[in-house]
Amino acid sequence: MSFELFALNPPILTTQSQVGKGAIIMDVNTLFGIKGKVVLITGGAKGIGRMIAEGFVRNGAKVYISSRDAAACETAALELNALASKTSSGGSAVALPADLSSAEECTRVAQELSKREQKLHVLINNSGATWGAAYDEYPDNAWTKLLTLNLHRVFTLTQALTPLLEKAAKKTSSSSSEGRSDDGVVIDPARVIHIGSIDGIRVPLLPTYAYSASKAGLHHLSRHMAVELGPRGITSNTLACGPFPSKMMAATLRDFGEDIKAANPLGRIGTPEDAAGACLFLASRAGAFVNGATVTLDGGVALVSKI
């Protein structure tokens, strides 16, 4: 077929043999379900991470929560398991505290998870910090802290967990479209989801120089990982989040909350359902062909001109 004819009449892949072994299933539970998946969420005890963790637990995933605040991890796990016990989802939460700004701790988390699980289906890199100060007073150590936690250790942890993620992508099924088909095409890969920021896309109003630079770097790191890890059965995507209720945003929302809402085309800030829903999509069969994307999760505020 010539290129011209191909462009005008692209082949439609509908047969079983063309898309991999197994029937094509379009029901919502199969497309968007994540029941039984093993998930690690860094910074999963508070803020956006906690919102995402609840979404996965309520829908049947086993979620490991990791952050340096051990007490907060334990509390979040107890709360989430209490919620799961009231439903039939089968989800659960496990505290796995660690200081993820440390390379040694990233390695320890990967080793500990490998002792407990044979595979990791979803890694959500959410741990992060911010630092605001006037340009003339912006400290050098802010760059060290934020670039290390928000960017460098994301690579360190993902690299350490790649063998477990690869194992999740190698599941084979001869009776469904999940896993690796006979011709070696991964239909349902493992997922890495990075929590970025619209401040890595636009220039923020606040003087958070190291934060915005680290998030811009994270967005591009995710794209680089998508190319490297895709052939290994792992996708890499980023959510560029706008304002959500969290400890990091507490002071800003307290002082400017109404203005922030008014500036948003949708007239509000993000909710737990928004954060969890976006991650559930990217982690499900419905999001299996999304790779290297930066999804703005902000109600459209990043599109609004400041002039």
* pLDDT of 3 higher than 50: no
Q: For residue 32, how many C-alpha atoms fall within 13 Å in the half-sphere facing its CB?
A: 11
Residue 180 DSSP SS3: strand
Phi, psi of 114 (to 5 degrees): -65, -30
Q: Which two tokens stand for residue 216?
A: 């811009």
Cβ-based burial of 74 (10 A; exposed 0-12, middle 13-18, buried ≥19): middle
At 16 the pLDDT is: 42
pLDDT category at 148 given cuts 50, 70, 90 is very high
Task: Report the number of secondary-structure helices (H) and strands (E) in the chain.
Answer: 11, 7
* pLDDT of 47 higher than 50: yes
Cα first-last separation, the chain: 51
Q: Is 135 known to be catalytic? A: no
Domain locations in the chain as residue ranges: 30-170+186-297
Active-site residue (options: 64, 138, 209, 211) = 211
Architecture of domain 30-170+186-297: 3-Layer(aba) Sandwich (3.40)
* pLDDT of 53 higher than 70: yes
pLDDT digits (tens, 9 = 90+) for 254-307: 877 888 898 899 999 999 999 999 999 999 999 999 999 999 999 999 998 765
At 255 the pLDDT is: 79
Mean pLDDT within 58-75: 97
At 89 the pLDDT is: 86
295 forms beta bridges with 239
Q: For residue 18, how many C-alpha atoms fall within 13 Å in the half-sphere facing its CB?
A: 5
* pLDDT of 182 higher than 50: no
Q: For residue 161, how many C-alpha atoms fall within 13 Å in the half-sphere facing its CB?
A: 34
Higher per-residue pLDDT: 88 or 50: 50
pLDDT digits (tens, 9 = 90+) for 204-253: 989 999 999 999 999 999 999 999 999 999 999 999 999 998 777 777 78
Mean pLDDT within 134-141: 97
